[in-house]
């Protein structure tokens, strides 16, 4: 089994990729997820491919450049925390897409990469386009089943707490649909809603993590999503928990 990083190395790994002078991330509990395929790949020293799948907030809209989108930030943190691991995080986000359009490219953009983990961000465009929750659920459930049949973990990511999301009718029902799918399937949930609520409770309002477009994260928001997601993935992989800065 590949030796995982020590607690000090993990702490440095999560913090070092941040640019000098960057604002620290607000505290938030580590979200516990079960990722057996990811854990197994790391345990046997196999190459680990993570596909970040979704729409514009996966692609990186609102970030200053592609290196500040959450997938690139996540890869940097995981590389630093697990320097011996052969891993890659592939950004397969396409702006404006809802779940049906994602399903149309699932084979080519996700399954063809043979990932151990798919982080699937969905729901924002369904909310903004007024998609019925039942239609969204059926489509997303079908996609989850296809990914899991290929042997990969699925980690669902719900919507950010942004003004345009919060103003959209029915956003809470779509969030509830994603939670329910995670509760009643082998998929797991990494909740940006819960993460941003924890940030707000710690004194960092939603707006400080959202770009001027009122929808997508800014650079700090993406970096802090990546930091929290890295903590969840490392914990699921059996890495020691670390103290926060």
Which of 193, 158, 64, 171 is closest to 127 using CA atoms? 171
**Diameter of the chain measured on Cα atoms:** 49
More confident residue, 30 or 240: 30
Q: Per-residue pLDDT tens for 127-143?
A: 999 999 999 999 999 99
Q: Which tokens is 100 given?
A: 């049906």
Alpha carbon distance 214, 192 (integer Å)? 16
Alpha carbon 87 to its chain's center: 16
pLDDT band at 239 (very low <50, low <70, confident <90, very high): low
Q: Which tokens is 157 given?
A: 């990511």
Please report which helix (H) or strand (E) contains residue 193, including its range. helix 192-201
Q: Please answer whether residues 226 and 5 qualify as being in contact, where contact means their C-beta atoms are separated by less than 8 angstroms.
A: no
**Contacts (Cβ under 8 Å, ≥6 apart) of 80:** 12, 13, 14, 16, 17
Is the pLDDT at 7 greater than 80? The verdict is no
Q: Is 39 helix (H, G, I), strand (E, B) or coil?
A: helix
- Domains parsed from the chain with CATH numbers: 7-16+29-236 (3.40.50.1110)
Which of 74, 39, 14 is closest to 243 using CA atoms? 14
Alpha carbon distance 240, 14 (integer Å)? 13
pLDDT at 3: 33
Task: Spell out where the chain has E strands.
Answer: 48-54, 87-93, 117-121, 153-157, 188-190
Alpha carbon distance 116, 59 (integer Å)? 20
pLDDT at 214: 97
Is the pLDDT at 226 greater than 80? The verdict is yes
Percent of the chain beyond pLDDT 90?
84
Question: pTM of the entire structure?
Answer: 0.90
Q: State the DSSP string of 62-92.
A: TSSSGGGSHHHHHHHHHHHH-TT--EEEEEE
Among the residue ranges 57-71, 98-112, 171-185, the one predicted with the least confidence is: 171-185
Percent of the chain beyond pLDDT 70?
89
Describe the crossing of helices 7-15 and 219-236 by its angle, rounded to 10 degrees. 160
């Amino acid at each position: 089994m590949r030796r995982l990083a020590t607690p000090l190395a993990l702490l440095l790994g999560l913090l070092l990729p941040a640019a000098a002078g960057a604002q620290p991330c607000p505290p938030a509990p580590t979200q516990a997820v079960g990722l057996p395929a990811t854990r197994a790949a790391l345990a046997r020293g196999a190459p680990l491919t993570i596909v970040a799948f979704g729409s514009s907030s996966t692609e990186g809209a609102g970030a200053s450049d592609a290196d500040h989108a959450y997938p690139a930030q996540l890869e940097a943190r995981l590389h630093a925390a697990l320097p011996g691991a052969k891993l890659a995080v592939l950004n397969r986000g396409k702006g404006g897409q809802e779940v049906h359009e994602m399903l149309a490219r699932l084979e080519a953009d996700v399954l063809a990469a043979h990932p151990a983990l798919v982080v699937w961000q969905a729901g924002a465009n369904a909310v903004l386009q007024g998609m019925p929750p039942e239609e969204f659920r059926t489509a997303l459930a079908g996609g989850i089943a296809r990914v899991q049949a290929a042997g990969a973990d699925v980690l669902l990511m719900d919507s950010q707490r942004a003004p345009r999301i919060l103003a959209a009718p029915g956003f809470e029902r779509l969030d509830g649909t994603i939670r329910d799918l995670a509760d009643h399937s082998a998929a797991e949930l990494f909740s940006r809603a819960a993460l941003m609520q924890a940030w707000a409770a710690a004194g960092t309002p939603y707006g400080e993590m959202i770009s001027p477009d009122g929808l997508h994260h800014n650079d700090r928001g993406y970096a802090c999503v990546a930091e929290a997601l890295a903590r969840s993935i490392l914990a699921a992989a059996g890495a020691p928990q670390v103290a926060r800065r």
